[in-house]
Structure 1
Amino acid sequence: MATSESAVQQQAELKKSCVNCGAELTYKPGTSSITCAYCGHKEEITVDPNGFEELELSPYLQEMGAQSHSEKISMLHCKNCGANQHIEENYKSLHCVYCSMPLIVEDMYTEDWILPGAVLPFQIDQKQSFQTFKKWVNGLWWAPNNLKKASLDPQFTKGLYLPFWTFDAQLKADYTGQRGTYYYENQSYRDNKGNYRTRRVRKTRWQYVSGKVSGFIDDTLIKASQQKAGRIPKSIARWNLKKLQPFNSNYLRGFITEKYTIPLKQGHLESKEEARRIADRWCRQDIGGDTQRVSSIDMKLSEETFKHILLPVYVSAYRYNGKEYNFFVNGETGAVSGSRPYSFWKIFFAVLAAIAIIIAIVMVAQASEGGSY
């Protein structure tokens, strides 16, 4: 368990205020500093010069929370969509980032979590994200008018740090399989006119093979949270992990942090499945030939380490006709994606207009034919 001294230190960081005016200091995306929005005071974020630490996996799987890298964090649970969110005391909005439902401060509780080892700081700010989102919404066909009105309010777009696990390991595998080599034969056949023809047909010659592969698997990325709503689309879930910085809570200032809900043990199981897919790919590359069959893989992982990391995304929550919709902007790249409602009346009147145009064209055509006699 973390020492009481480190807990006090973390709380002091979270409550840190501007030395000039006492206002909140927030992280400025794309920089290495926290700034005051009122007087412009700036403080540089100091990161560990030794870089981020890869934690040995085995002890954490045996007893999570008994390590020096675990800490208590204050949490608010959304009863509507199930998201678990850490919101700093002075964050202006106490609404769920995913579904915009109010969060009750009195329901705040604390629980252990494995401290993040690294964070990819936001590279674009809320204003840039909002403009990207606004442009995307305005380009939607058949969108309800009130969707576009709602999207004009920046309060619907919030910055969120998403939790992920990354796993590293040395992989060794023994395999058996077959190497396929293509060859061609001439084949006679009768065409639809009864004439004999010849064509070349590709066939495969198989040869039994076995071998060994080994290598280092670096930063297998596994999602560490999942609710019934708010799943991040794959189209924007791509970050450059080379931009990761050693964790410092100052990067979280002004943003919401989601706590992982997928335990380390489950994340590890998913990473092993990914390691097996990597081993299969390596085996096929080692087999060579034109095509391959892999019959068996005996895979072993060693020197396994992991990190808990936080990755940036902007989320806009919107409710339409009782349904929840989410829109996402990647906080590093600006890529945008999301679910969207359709306007029944816009589609309905568009269909009526199309029918009216078709009828008008038919009537004009008939009138032209009648006038030609």
Structure 2
Amino acid sequence: MEVTKTQKSELKKVCLGCGAELLYAPGTTKLVCEYCGNEETIKPQRDGFEELELKPYLDKVGGQSHSEVISMLQCKNCGANQHIEDHYKSLHCIFCSMPLIVEDSREEEWILPGAILPFQVDRKEAHLVFKKWVDGLWFAPNKLKKAVLSPDLIRGLYLPYWTFDAYLDADYIGKRGDYYYVTVPYTTTQNGKTVTRTRQERRTRWSFASGSVNGFVDDTLIKASNQKTGNIPRGVAHWNLRKLEPFDSSYLSGFVTEKYTISLKQGHLESNEEMYAIATQWARRDIGGDEQRITSLDMRLSEETFKHILLPVYISTYKFKGKQYSFYVNGENGIVSGQRPYSFWKIFLLVLVILLAIIVIVKVSQ
């Protein structure tokens, strides 16, 4: 039977007061009209998250009832796939600021997100975080510190991730190392005489170890997109997944949504590597002792499920003296990171001051 594809994330929320589009207000459960102030509450879904069985999707990705069709624009410069809401009049890539041509949009099928972490920080707050970050930069050019960047240049983006759950069983063979100490004599010269002394040296006693470990691995997080530019810094890419909400397209209103470019199959392979590392950790803990060596580990996964989730970040790309820089603000906790220019003259003067100080100290000591 052919499955009917839906377009839930394409539906615009219209204000009943004036007909304008309602936008999601970060940190709330409300949609707000920017024109007349009308509000609409996002009703929580009682069903909770739906973990999708992994195998059917790996066999035939997209041929299931949890897929939908959305309109996408691909940046020809960095390759990012972005779904941009209609109210953005000037369309530019959120990662590299290259213009996007509406006529180049195409319809694509994607696996419907199972959960979303709504923005908790609004655009004005993100702008203030950026300004504070700029003010705190050492050796930043004065012109950069004096720059007043409009909050409109900061864009909210939902990033796609895969999460994988599985029950993990693993059998291991290895060795357990326990420390012990021995007294070792050594000779040294003292006042022209050879003296024998002793010292304690650490040794490791190795013994055979084998066993089994098992347990449930929840929400192994795997990045689901990759571009030539605009990779999110590790310091920003930390979210509290306990704040995830069941997916509702209302949370997308007013934000850009990036489509995954790393396939479910590839994401699953990466999650297996993560789970193998977890199994190795469990095996080391099970062996105990001071050191452990794993010579063989046979891992098995069962009851595998996955979710496609969306996580929030603000991005701004700015140019300074002809060079492009980007900065990022985590849309949940406000953590900031980014690229920055340096002032050659400030660094040069600092080095010069240090050299002069060294010269003065040397002359005084003489």
TM-score, length basis structure 2 = 0.92
What runs of 5+ residues in structure 1 fail to find an aligned partner? none
Q: Which of 166, 170, 174 does residue 171 from structure 2 map onto?
A: 174
Q: Which of 77, 82, 85 does residue 88 from structure 1 map onto?
A: 85
Match of 1:63 in 2: 60
1:354 deviates by: 6.5
Amino acid at match of 2:174: G
Match of 1:197 in 2: 197
Higher deviation after alignment, 265-274 or 77-86: 77-86
Contact 2:153 2:316 in 1 (8 A): yes
What runs of 5+ residues in structure 2 fail to find an aligned partner? none
Contact 1:166 1:219 in 2 (8 A): yes
What RMSD over aligned residues (CA atoms) do the two structures have, in Å?
Answer: 2.2
Contact 2:13 2:250 in 1 (8 A): no
1:153 deviates by: 1.7
In 2, the alpha carbon distance for the partners of 1:320 and 1:251 equals: 33
For each residue in 1:291-313, what CA deviation from the matched residue of structure 2 results, as whole angstroms up to 9, or x when unmatched?
Answer: 11111000000110000000011
Match of 1:271 in 2: 271
In 1, the alpha carbon distance for the partners of 2:313 and 2:319 equals: 20
1:344 deviates by: 3.0
For each residue in 1:267-312, what CA deviation from the matched residue of structure 2 results, as whole angstroms up to 9, or x when unmatched?
Answer: 1111000000000000011111121111100000011000000001
Amino acid at match of 2:329: V
Q: 1:288 to 1:122 in 2, by over 3 A?
A: same
Match of 1:135 in 2: 132
Amino acid at match of 2:88: Y
Contact 1:27 1:253 in 2 (8 A): yes
In 2, the alpha carbon distance for the partners of 1:258 and 1:147 equals: 30
In 2, the alpha carbon distance for the partners of 1:287 and 1:245 equals: 39
Match of 1:299 in 2: 299
Match of 1:316 in 2: 316
Amino acid at match of 1:53: E
5 Å-filtered alignment, 1:225-236, equals: 225-236=225-236
1:102 deviates by: 1.4
- Find the residue that maps to 1:191 and give its secondary structure: strand
Match of 2:258 in 1: 258
In 2, the alpha carbon distance for the partners of 1:157 and 1:84 equals: 18
Contact 1:71 1:115 in 2 (8 A): yes
- Find the residue that maps to 1:217 and give its secondary structure: strand
Q: 1:281 to 1:309 in 2, by over 3 A?
A: same
Contact 2:9 2:252 in 1 (8 A): no
Q: 1:350 to 1:174 in 2, by over 3 A?
A: closer
Higher deviation after alignment, 146-155 or 311-320: 146-155
5 Å-filtered alignment, 1:21-170, equals: 21-150=18-147, 152-170=149-167
Contact 2:225 2:260 in 1 (8 A): yes
Q: 1:56 to 1:151 in 2, by over 3 A?
A: farther
